[in-house]
Chain A
Amino acid sequence: MSASAESPSEPVAVTGWWSTLRSATGLLLALCLTYLGLLGATFFIGRVIPIDPALAVAGDRAPEHVLQRVRQELGLDQPLWTQFSQYVAQVLRGDLGSSILTSNPVLQDLLATFPATVELATAGIIVGVGLGVPLGVWAAIHHGRWPDHLARLLGLVGHSIPIFWLGLMGLLLFYAQLGWVSGPGRLDVSHEFSVPRMSGMLLLDTAWAGQWEAFRNAFSHLVLPAGLLGFYSMAYISRMTRSFMLNELSKEYILTARAKGLAESRVVWWHALRNAAVPLLTVVAMSYAALLEGSVLTETVFSWPGLGLYITNSLQNGDMNAVLGGTLLVGSVFIALNLLSDVLYRLLDPRTRAP
Chain B
Amino acid sequence: MIIRTAVHRLVRNPMSALGLVILMVFLVVALGADVLAPHSAYDGDLQNRRLLPPGPDHWLGTDDLGRDIVSRLIHGSRITLLVVVLVAVLAAPVGLLVGTVAGYCAHGRAKVLDTILMRMTDIFLAFPRLILALAFVAALGPGIENAILAIAVTSWPPYARIARAETLTLRQAGFVQAAQAMGASSSRIVWRHIVPLCLPSVVVRVSLDMSGIILTAAGLGFLGLGAQPPIPEWGAMISNGRQFLLDQWWVAAAPGATILLVSLAFNLLGDGLRDALDPKQESKG
Contacts and interface: CB of A to CB of B under 8 A. Distances in A.
A148 interface: yes
A109 interface: no
Contact of B135 (A33, A42, A292, A294): A42
Contact of B285 (A3, A30, A144, A338): A144
Given A148-B285, A296-B131, A300-B223, A2 B238 contact: no
A334 B126 contact: yes
Contacts of B207: none
Q: Give the interface centre of B161, B223, B238, B253 by most chain A CB atoms within 10 Å.
A: B223
Interface of A is mostly: helix
Given A49-B140, A331-B128, A169 B285 contact: no
B109 interface: no
Nearest to A333: B128
Q: Give the interface centre of A159, A289, A323 by most chain B CB atoms within 10 Å.
A: A159
B223 A297 contact: yes
Q: Size range of the interface on B?
A: 35 or more
A15 interface: no
A347 B120 CA distance: 27
A301 B253 CA distance: 14
Given A45-B135, A327-B128, A327-B131, 19 more contacts: A2-B126, A37-B124, A41-B132, A143-B284, A152-B271, A156-B267, A160-B211, A162-B218, A162-B260, A165-B252, A168-B242, A172-B245, A292-B128, A296-B134, A312-B223, A320-B138, A324-B135, A326-B131, A338-B126
A46 B132 contact: no
A38 B224 contact: no
Contacts of B219: 162-164, 296-297
Contacts of B255: 165
Interface of B is mostly: helix
A156 B264 contact: yes
B235 interface: yes
A331 B238 CA distance: 28
B285 to A, nearest CB: 5
Interface of A: 2-3, 6, 30, 33-34, 37-38, 41-42, 45-46, 49-50, 143-144, 148, 152-153, 156-157, 159-166, 168-169, 171-172, 176, 243, 246, 250, 289, 292-294, 296-297, 300-301, 311-312, 315-316, 318, 320, 323-324, 326-327, 330-331, 334-335, 338
B130 A294 contact: yes
Contact of A45 (B136, B222, B223, B284): B136
B188 interface: no
